[in-house]
Amino acid sequence: MKILLKNTKMLLPTNEPKACEVLIESGKIKQIATVISESADQVIDCKNNMLFPGFIDVHIHLREPGGEHKETIKSGTEAAASGGFTTVCSMPNTSPVPGDVETVQDLFSRIEKDAVVRVLPYASITKDLKGEVLTDIKEVAETGVFAFTDDGVGIQTADYMLRAMKEAAACGKAIVAHCEDNSIVYGGVVHDGEVSKRLDIPGIPSLSESVQIARDVLLAEAAGCHYHVCHVSTKESVRVIRDAKRAGIHVTSEVTPHHLLLNEHDVKAGDTNFKMNPPLRAKADQQALMDGLLDGTIDFIATDHAPHAEDEKAKGFLESPFGIVGLETAFPLLYTHLVQTGKVTLQQLVDWLTIKPATVFGLPYGVLEEGKPADLTLVNLDKQLTIDKKSFYSKGKNMPFQDWDVAGIPVLTIVAGKVVYKEGLDG
C-alpha cells in the first residue's frame, strides 16, 4: 500500500522548516520531495504540520502479563501511538518475569497479537528480579530481546553485575540499570531533602543512586560492556557519568521529562502522583540534569511510563507504588516548557526522542530519510490543550501534570507504513 503525505514540512538541521511531501511504500519511505506526482492508495493532507521521525522510548512499563489492571500491551501501545511514539521498549517487571526463553517467547506472541506500535522487550538480569540467580543471558539473548535489566531494583552485588556484564558483552547486548543501593535507601519514599522534612516522611538519599553508578561504570570498563543508566536524577550521578565518558567507558544514560520539569519543591502533601523512583530531587539536581543533557553526558530522554490503578495510588506516600505515566504527555510538555521557553531548540528535542536513542542502541529507526522505515510522527506545533487524564488511552491516570496547558500535539502516527493514530486531520 502506498501512502502520500501532502502539505507537510520537515525540520532541517538548521532548525528551519522545509515544505515537503513524503511517499510511503511497503513500510518504507520511498521518496521525499517538494512535490510528488506519483499516485497513492491513500493521500493524507497534513495541513502544514511538522513531520518528524517517530519518537522512540526505551523505558516504559506495559504491565502485561500479570498486571493487566494497570495496563495492557494494547492500551499502553495505544497511549504510545497517541503520544507520537513508534518504538517502545518494555521493562520486565511483569508476572511472570521474562527471564527464560519460554516466557520471552510468550511475551513476543502477546506483542505480535496486540501491540499498536513496535515493542522491543527487555529480559531480566536475574531470575524474577530477585538478584539471586542470573538469567541465562546467552540463551535468552538469542530470542531477540532488546537488552537486559532488573529495572525497579538495583543489582546489589558487584559480583552479579560483573558476571552479567561479561555475559551480555559476549552477546552484544547492553546492561540497563536502575541504580539504587538498598543499604542506604532507609525506607525512603521521596527525596531526602527539603521535601522529606516538609512532609515529615522518610527520604531517599541521592547517594543511593550515584554510588551504584560509580561502581558499575568501573565494572563495565572491566567487562567491556555497554552500560546504560536509567532515569538519572542526581547531580552526583551526572558527574560520575561525565567522568566515565571522558575515561572512554561505554556508558550511556537517559533522563525523564518529569525530572527535567519538576523538583522536590513541586511535591504536594498527600498527592502520590508526585511519588516516583527515583524521586523528584533538589533544584540543583534538576539543573544538573538539564546541563548534562545539553552537553551530551545524558544521551536522550525516556519517559519511564509507569501506570498504576487508582486504588493503588490512593494508599498514601508510605504505601502507594512508585511511578507516573508519561507517554501521552511527553512531547507537549517538553515542547512547551523547554522549546517554547528557549531553553533548547526543536531540533535538539526531536534528536533526544529519535536519533539519539536509536544510535545508542543500534536501532534502524529515528530518521526521516528515503529508504528508511516509515516510522513517522506528525505534530501540530500550534495546537494547544489542557492535559486531562480522563482522555488518556493508557489505563494509568497517575501523573502530576493534570490541567497543565501545553502546545505541540501529535496528530498522526505511522509505524512501518501503517497509520496507527490519527486525530484532527479530517475535513
Give residue-wise pLDDT tens across range 343-361: 999 999 999 999 999 999 9
Query: Among 128, 140, 138, which Cα is nearest to 163's?
Result: 138
**Which positions are annotated as active-site residues?**
304
Q: Is the residue at 427 inside a domain?
A: no
Distance CA 301, CA 369 (A): 22
Q: Both 125 and 42 in a single domain?
A: no
Residue 8 structural domain: 2-50+373-422
Distance CA 282, CA 290 (A): 13
- Cα–Cα distances in angstroms (integers) from residue 257 to residues 65, 88, 334, in the given order: 26, 16, 7
For residue 215, the model assigns a pLDDT of 98
Give the strand pairing for 2-11 and 28-33: unpaired
Q: Which of 360, 385, 401 is the last residue of a domain?
A: 360
Query: 411 in helix, strand or coil?
Result: strand
For residue 398, the model assigns a pLDDT of 98
Q: Both 292 and 380 in a single domain?
A: no
Provide the number of structural domains found in the chain: 2
The pTM (predicted TM-score) of the whole model is 0.97
Q: Both 91 and 220 in a single domain?
A: yes
Q: Both 216 and 86 in a single domain?
A: yes
For residue 176, the model assigns a pLDDT of 98
Q: Is the residue at 345 inside a domain?
A: yes
The CATH code of the domain that includes 301 is 3.20.20.140
Q: Both 165 and 214 in a single domain?
A: yes
For the chain, give the mean pLDDT.
97
The CATH code of the domain that includes 401 is 2.30.40.10
55 Cβ contact list (under 8 Å, min separation 6): 83, 84, 85, 86, 87, 330, 331, 353, 354, 377
For residue 151, the model assigns a pLDDT of 87
Q: Both 71 and 94 in a single domain?
A: yes
Q: Both 23 and 157 in a single domain?
A: no
Query: Among 30, 3, 33, 39, which Cα is nearest to 20's?
Result: 33
For residue 152, the model assigns a pLDDT of 85
DSSP 8-state assignment for residue 128: G
Q: Both 249 and 186 in a single domain?
A: yes
Query: Mind listing the pLDDT tens digit for each residue in 71-88?
Result: 999 999 999 999 999 999
Q: Is the residue at 130 inside a domain?
A: yes
Q: Is the residue at 366 inside a domain?
A: no
Query: Mind listing the pLDDT tens digit for each residue in 332-347?
Result: 999 999 999 999 999 9
Query: 422 in helix, strand or coil?
Result: strand
Q: Both 396 and 300 in a single domain?
A: no
13 prior amide bond cis, ω within 30: no
Q: Both 388 and 268 in a single domain?
A: no
User: Per-residue pLDDT for 427 more than 60?
Assistant: no
Q: Both 185 and 241 in a single domain?
A: yes
Q: Is the residue at 18 inside a domain?
A: yes
